[in-house]
Amino acid sequence: MKKTNLLVFAVLIVLASGCAQDNGKIFNGKDLSNWNFVVENDAVPGDQVYAVKDGQISIKGEPLGYMYTKEKYVNYTLELEYRWAEEASNSGIFVLIEDPKNPFATGVEIQLAAGKAGDFVLLAGSDMKEYTLPEGVTERPKFPVIQKKQPSSENPAGEWNKVKITVQDGVVDVYVNDVHQNTGTGLVKEGNIGLQSEGKEILFRNLVLTKM
């Protein structure tokens, strides 16, 4: 009987370990070993821009660039928190990255720029079905924007903000501090996830990804 119980316990541990790989933290709180780095024009080594401080991801903001997961993901929920280290500035979360170009990936940016958190920015040729050219505009902008649906739900600079992103069959939904800010339909269904360096220092913590 005891041997049977031990065997069952061992099987449960193995199953739990497998689940932890599929669902859980994409940042281990210690290092950035499962992320790649992009810095505009390779101006400086990535570790001078992207680092871990007190168990949080610190992104310097300059030079321009982004860090992105080594793994691609499809159909998931990503939850995280962010705050500005000092003054509010500019950054973003990338999803559905098709091609990790320098300095902008081909993918969809969930904007975190102060006052605009929840906008979609279509980077490096990425597209969403909901995007149409503004009236009177005949040429596609370099960075097309699908604006958020609600007034800003961001907290003041220095306070933590909670972001929830769901990606289901290419459909991206974004919540900022529990307010549903945007929905868009990407033309691809799978891609890497990224965090942008642009502007001033930003901190991220409690990154949890759950596969659907």
86 DSSP assignment: S
DSSP state letters, 20-73: HHHSEESS-SS--TTEEEEEGGG-S-GGGTEEEETTEEEE---S-EEEEESS-E
Q: What is the number of domains present in the chain?
A: 1
- The one-letter amino acid code at 68 reads Y
% of the chain exceeding 90 in pLDDT: 86
The rounded mean pLDDT for the chain is 91
* 23 band by pLDDT with thresholds 50, 70 and 90: low
CA 29 to chain centre: 16
Distance CA 34, CA 169 (A): 24
pLDDT at residue 8, rounded to an integer: 43
Does residue 66 form part of some domain? yes
Least confident of 9-18, 109-118, 149-158: 9-18
Does residue 15 form part of some domain? no
Does residue 10 form part of some domain? no
Q: Is 8 helix (H, G, I), strand (E, B) or coil?
A: helix
Task: Tell me what the mean pLDDT of segment 60-89 comes to.
Answer: 97
* 25 band by pLDDT with thresholds 50, 70 and 90: confident
The token pair that represents 207 in the structure block: 């990154």
* CATH at 122: 2.60.120.560
Distance CA 168, CA 64 (A): 29
The CA-atom distances, in angstroms, between 41 and each of 38, 65, 88 are: 9, 9, 25
The CA-atom distances, in angstroms, between 108 and each of 9, 13, 98, 175, 183 are: 43, 37, 9, 15, 12
* 18 band by pLDDT with thresholds 50, 70 and 90: very low
Does residue 126 form part of some domain? yes
pLDDT in tens, 36-47: 999 999 999 999
For residue 2, pLDDT over 60 is answered with no
pLDDT at residue 20, rounded to an integer: 37
Does residue 13 form part of some domain? no
Does residue 77 form part of some domain? yes
pLDDT at residue 200, rounded to an integer: 97
> In terms of C-beta density within 10 A (0-12 exposed, 13-18 middle, 19 or more buried), how is residue 50 classed?
buried
For residue 30, pLDDT over 90 is answered with yes
Question: Rg for the chain (alpha carbons), in Å?
Answer: 18
The token pair that represents 94 in the structure block: 């990338």
Least confident of 101-110, 130-139, 184-193: 130-139
For residue 108, which of 157, 68, 156, 161 has the smallest C-alpha distance? 68
Does residue 145 form part of some domain? yes
User: pTM, whole model, 2 decimals?
Assistant: 0.89
Do 201 and 58 meet the contact criterion of CB atoms below 8 Å apart? Answer: yes
For residue 28, pLDDT over 90 is answered with yes
Does residue 48 form part of some domain? yes
Distance CA 154, CA 161 (A): 7
**Residue 147 domain boundaries:** 26-211
For residue 15, pLDDT over 70 is answered with no
pLDDT in tens, 152-197: 999 999 999 999 999 999 999 999 999 999 999 999 999 999 999 9
